[in-house]
Chains A and B, each alone.
Chain A
Amino acid sequence: MKHRRHSFQQSLQQWLRREIGLWRIGALPGLLIILIVVIARFTGNLQSFETNLLDLFLRLRPSEPIDPRILIVGIDEQDIQTIGTYPIPDGTLAGLLRTLQRHDPAVIGLDLFRDLPVEPGHAAWVETLKQTPSLIGIQKVLADAGNRPIAPPRGLSPQQVGFADAIPDEDGNVRRSLLGLTDRQGVYQFSFTSRLAEKYLATRGITLENGLRDPVAMRFDRTELTRFTPNAGGYVHADANGNQILINFRRGRNPFRIVSLTDVMADNVPDDWIRDRIVLVGVTALSAKDMIPSNALKGRNPSVVYGVEIQAHAVSQIVSAVLDHRPLLNVWADTWEYFWIIGWGLLGISLGRMLRSPFKVLLLLGMTTLLLLASSFALLMGGWWVPVAPALLVLVLNGAGLTASLFYQHEQDLKAKLHDRQLMIDQAFDAIHNGPLQTLARTLRNLQAENRTTDPIYAELKQLNQELRSVYESMRREALSQDSSLQVSSDLELNLENPLHESLYEVFSHTLSRDFPHFKQLRLTLPTFEAIDDRRLSLEQKRGICRFLEEALCNAGKYAQGMTRLEVVCKQAGDRNIIRVTDNGSSDLQHQDKWAIATGGRGTEQAKVLARQLSGRFQRFPNTPQGMICELSWPIRRSWFKPLHFSANPTE
């Protein structure tokens, strides 16, 4: 027992050492790919790939129910037509506010820049503002792309003003929401979004506080709004000024209720759509050009949504997170992200290590890719945006091509080394053969010439001659036992670089000298081995053909009862190559099935696979008057689209 454990440990150690050796060589390019992808990500080259995948994943999520807390009053094309002027006059807006106020909403967000009076009705407008404490207006604080800051509507207290600035990504899409920032005067300003959320949540008794983990972050109750950092998720050196969070857009065809200004004025809106709700007033007319591209949402006009809708999503996600525990979009720390990427990369490399058959690698790669996508998607559903794109890259690149081929190549190298060793043994023998054996032969001949064959020394020299020759035989066998895949049967090694018909004859000659019951009565063999066109055959295919012949002969030897005559043909007939073994053994019907039974069908199966590889045909049928014919034939010109590689590794 102890001994066995010891040897198990030893073999485990050997296996480990071999594996590490293989990995050192085979995995190097794979590790390089991981490194390149990591660097590419680190330098921001994968950002758009990652953010686009995020959009795709966000779009693919199942629909969420409508958010009843929010009502959008969209001033649409028809409203503008009805009113007949744009911007909407102050008087009309004042009327809208008063109508809304009658239903007592929790908070009204006016997503319209009203820094200048728009007559008629400005006086009434100023008056209405004073009487509407639940109103939040907007301003623009950042000076960007030639746009100057825009002041809030006059008459609102500072607490009733939030800025509406947005920071789009490089591709123009808005994926983040600003909560607050310090303006050029050094004053900390709250955004429209955070003002609305704060005001609404205040009606529920929840106040805005500083974060616990991050004092700069905002917090409502137990929901901390984790600040966006320049390298968060797939972003690299993003503009993370102020206090921003990622937007977890609400999925669904109609995430919010939208009514028109006319609807409200005509009292067509149910009371409970407004009462205690967040009412956002904005423009939903294409002509007003308050639109923002967002690939994360399927808009009417693909990927373009109105500004007020983005505001709705931003407010909704905060309120839903606090009250419903709907997940916000979070990212992992960079370290974990890179662990995740490298992990998938290593998995890709090990696919190439574990499997050699390209189809199996592809299948498993497909399954692993699916697993990556599924787990990433599930994580996103839980609010975690993980690096899908780089993980996908390293997994597919490593799994698919390079690694598998390199492991394969390395194995070929090992085979070549074995071959070299065989060569060395051959050379050693040649040295013995050229030196001592020649001298011996001469000496023996001289002794014969001198008629001294009765001399004991003659017998001893003859013995020595035999012994030296047997040394070679044993060396040869020793070398062959190291790697069975290089040989056909236990002690015949073929040099498959030789013409195929020569190798086949060697197989024939060798197999017939083996100890099979029905070779004993064999009285006549009729071999025809002619040169065949083997230029298009790979070594692996040649080996397969040699094995086929061996198998066919062995089966005749094992099952062809009473066989006295065996005909073996290897020749080119027309445009086909033919290998045929014909015996005249017992015509016992079961004889033909014995091969299949004895090999568990494997022999036949291998022959069929081989035939397929060669675009040829494998047949076994009864001989007349008795016996079996076993034939493999294939066309000399093969169609190009058949796989050239013979991946099955037939074993003895």
Chain B
Amino acid sequence: MIGPKVEAGRQRILVVDDHEAVLGGTVSLLKQQYPDSDLLTAQTAKEAQQIVANTPLELVVMDLSIPEASGETARTETGINLLRTVMQKHPTLNIVVQSAYTKALVRLKPAINAHEGGFTIADKSLSLKEMLIRVDWALQGIVYTPREMRIGLELKPEWLEVLKLAFEQGLQDKTIAEKMNVAERTVRHYWTQVQDALEVYPETGKNIRIQTEMRAREEGLID
């Protein structure tokens, strides 16, 4: 099921959910928040995959418990597989996962950590306001995963290196990229990931880099 006609140059959002009522609710909420965007919908993994493959998208909001094709039973496994494929094929796509069952997502943690687009998880029982914040974060390329998905402080070695180069040597992203022999875009991706690991998220009136430095120092990650 494909939503309103796609207009060129406008922000496109895909909502995946097999419950018509939930789907309708989410779509109308997003429509309100982003009146200038086109909203597309899919009720099965198959449909979603087709849309993702054929349409340039800014954001996918998806439920994990979906059926493979219409008429089949909705299963968390199907959503996980869809998510894995989408992240593999579109590493910069912004994604919001609507699921309360984060345990199932733990196994995708390596893929989430490697994902370069925004990625947030929003439980369906979240208030509408909070839900919209998560959507907004995803669109900004921010990563948010709930604390249950982490074991204490869990960092990839590259992220630690970014912290050290930035805060111990005061380097800029461009220089860090050169030093680490990666693209500048990758360094930015490391920042979003390490911020999620340190649980530093945007707050009005606060500088996120400085917040990150403070947390890193608190944790003894940098001297």
Interface residues of A (CB under 8 A from B): 426-427, 430-431, 433-434, 437-438, 440-442, 444-445, 448-449, 465, 469, 495, 498, 501-503, 505-506, 509-510, 512-513, 522-531, 567
Instruction: Judge whether B110 and A502 touch: CB under 8 Å.
Output: yes
Is B152 in contact with chain A by the CB < 8 A criterion?
yes
Instruction: Judge whether A441 and B151 touch: CB under 8 Å.
Output: no
Instruction: Judge whether A442 and B21 touch: CB under 8 Å.
Output: yes
Instruction: Judge whether B152 and A525 touch: CB under 8 Å.
Output: yes
Is B6 in contact with chain A by the CB < 8 A criterion?
no
Is B11 in contact with chain A by the CB < 8 A criterion?
no
A-B contact pairs, 9 of them (CB 8 A): A430-B65, A441-B125, A502-B110, A505-B106, A506-B106, A525-B153, A526-B156, A529-B109, A531-B110
Contacts of B123 in A (CB 8 A): 441
Binds A, one of B48-56, B71-79, B135-143: B71-79
Nearest-neighbour CB distance to chain B for A572, whole angstroms, equals: 13
Instruction: Judge whether A505 and B109 touch: CB under 8 Å.
Output: yes
Chain B interface residue bracket vs A: 35 or more
Instruction: Judge whether A438 and B157 touch: CB under 8 Å.
Output: no
Is B210 in contact with chain A by the CB < 8 A criterion?
no
Nearest-neighbour CB distance to chain A for B23, whole angstroms, equals: 11
Closest B residue, CB atoms, query A448: B127
Instruction: Judge whether B220 and A442 touch: CB under 8 Å.
Output: no
A444 to B126, CA, bound (A): 9
Contacts of A445 in B (CB 8 A): 124-128
Nearest-neighbour CB distance to chain B for A613, whole angstroms, equals: 24
Instruction: Judge whether B76 and A433 touch: CB under 8 Å.
Output: yes
Instruction: Judge whether B127 and A449 touch: CB under 8 Å.
Output: yes
Instruction: Judge whether A509 and B152 touch: CB under 8 Å.
Output: no
Instruction: Judge whether A441 and B124 touch: CB under 8 Å.
Output: yes
Also in contact, A524 and B221, with CB within 8 A (given A445-B125, A509-B106): yes
A458 to B110, CA, bound (A): 36
Contacts of A522 in B (CB 8 A): 152
Instruction: Judge whether A525 and B220 touch: CB under 8 Å.
Output: no
A301 to B93, CA, bound (A): 90
Instruction: Judge whether A527 and B108 touch: CB under 8 Å.
Output: no
Contacts of A528 in B (CB 8 A): 156-157
Instruction: Judge whether B125 and A449 touch: CB under 8 Å.
Output: no
Nearest-neighbour CB distance to chain A for B73, whole angstroms, equals: 6
Interface string of B126-168 (1 = CB under 8 A from A): 1110000000000000000000010111111100100000000
Closest A residue, CB atoms, query B19: A438
Closest A residue, CB atoms, query B151: A512
Taking a contact as CB atoms closer than 8 A, the residue among A438, A530, A531 that contacts B22 in the complex is: A438
Is B101 in contact with chain A by the CB < 8 A criterion?
yes
A256 to B182, CA, bound (A): 97
Nearest-neighbour CB distance to chain B for A296, whole angstroms, equals: 70
Instruction: Judge whether A527 and B156 touch: CB under 8 Å.
Output: yes
Closest A residue, CB atoms, query B160: A526
A444 to B73, CA, bound (A): 25
Instruction: Judge whether A433 and B152 touch: CB under 8 Å.
Output: no
Is B35 in contact with chain A by the CB < 8 A criterion?
no
Instruction: Judge whether A524 and B153 touch: CB under 8 Å.
Output: yes
A502 to B160, CA, bound (A): 22
Also in contact, A433 and B65, with CB within 8 A (given A523-B219, A524-B221): yes
Instruction: Judge whether A430 and B76 touch: CB under 8 Å.
Output: yes
Instruction: Judge whether A509 and B109 touch: CB under 8 Å.
Output: yes
Interface residues of B (CB under 8 A from A): 18-19, 21-22, 25, 65, 73-77, 100-101, 106-111, 114, 123-128, 149, 151-157, 160, 219-221
Contacts of A512 in B (CB 8 A): 151-152
Instruction: Judge whether B156 and A444 touch: CB under 8 Å.
Output: no
Contacts of B106 in A (CB 8 A): 505-506, 509-510
Nearest-neighbour CB distance to chain A for B127, whole angstroms, equals: 4
Instruction: Judge whether A513 and B75 touch: CB under 8 Å.
Output: no
A96 to B107, CA, bound (A): 103
Instruction: Judge whether A506 and B157 touch: CB under 8 Å.
Output: no
Contacts of A433 in B (CB 8 A): 65, 74, 76, 101
Closest B residue, CB atoms, query A530: B110
Q: Which 9 A-B pairs have the closest CB atoms?
A: A529-B110, A441-B124, A512-B151, A502-B107, A448-B127, A441-B125, A444-B125, A506-B107, A525-B154
Greatest chain B CB density within 10 A among A427, A506, A522 is at: A506
Contacts of B160 in A (CB 8 A): 526
Nearest-neighbour CB distance to chain A for B155, whole angstroms, equals: 6
Taking a contact as CB atoms closer than 8 A, the residue among A441, A448, A505, A525 that contacts B100 in the complex is: A441
Contacts of A510 in B (CB 8 A): 106
Closest B residue, CB atoms, query A443: B125
Nearest-neighbour CB distance to chain B for A433, whole angstroms, equals: 5
A531 to B75, CA, bound (A): 24
Taking a contact as CB atoms closer than 8 A, the residue among A523, A527, A530 that contacts B220 in the complex is: A523
A567 to B153, CA, bound (A): 12
Instruction: Judge whether B107 and A498 touch: CB under 8 Å.
Output: yes
Instruction: Judge whether A525 and B155 touch: CB under 8 Å.
Output: yes
Contacts of A427 in B (CB 8 A): 73, 75
Instruction: Judge whether A426 and B77 touch: CB under 8 Å.
Output: yes
Also in contact, A526 and B155, with CB within 8 A (given A433-B65, A509-B106): yes
A530 to B111, CA, bound (A): 8
A623 to B221, CA, bound (A): 20
Contacts of B152 in A (CB 8 A): 512, 522-525
A430-B65, A506-B107, A522-B152 known; 4 other A-B pairs, CB under 8 Å?
Answer: A426-B75, A505-B109, A509-B149, A526-B160
Also in contact, A434 and B153, with CB within 8 A (given A442-B25, A505-B107): no
Taking a contact as CB atoms closer than 8 A, the residue among A430, A438, A469, A526 that contacts B124 in the complex is: A438
Instruction: Judge whether B221 and A567 touch: CB under 8 Å.
Output: no
Nearest-neighbour CB distance to chain B for A419, whole angstroms, equals: 13
Nearest-neighbour CB distance to chain A for B96, whole angstroms, equals: 15
Also in contact, A525 and B65, with CB within 8 A (given A427-B75, A430-B73, A448-B127): no
A431 to B73, CA, bound (A): 8
A377 to B112, CA, bound (A): 71
Contacts of B220 in A (CB 8 A): 523
A317 to B54, CA, bound (A): 96
Nearest-neighbour CB distance to chain A for B199, whole angstroms, equals: 14
Instruction: Judge whether B65 and A434 touch: CB under 8 Å.
Output: yes
Contacts of A441 in B (CB 8 A): 100, 123-125
A442 to B160, CA, bound (A): 40
Also in contact, A527 and B154, with CB within 8 A (given A445-B125, A498-B107): yes
Instruction: Judge whether A505 and B21 touch: CB under 8 Å.
Output: no
Closest A residue, CB atoms, query B155: A526
Contacts of B19 in A (CB 8 A): 434, 438
Closest B residue, CB atoms, query A507: B107
Nearest-neighbour CB distance to chain A for B54, whole angstroms, equals: 26
Contacts of B76 in A (CB 8 A): 426, 430, 433
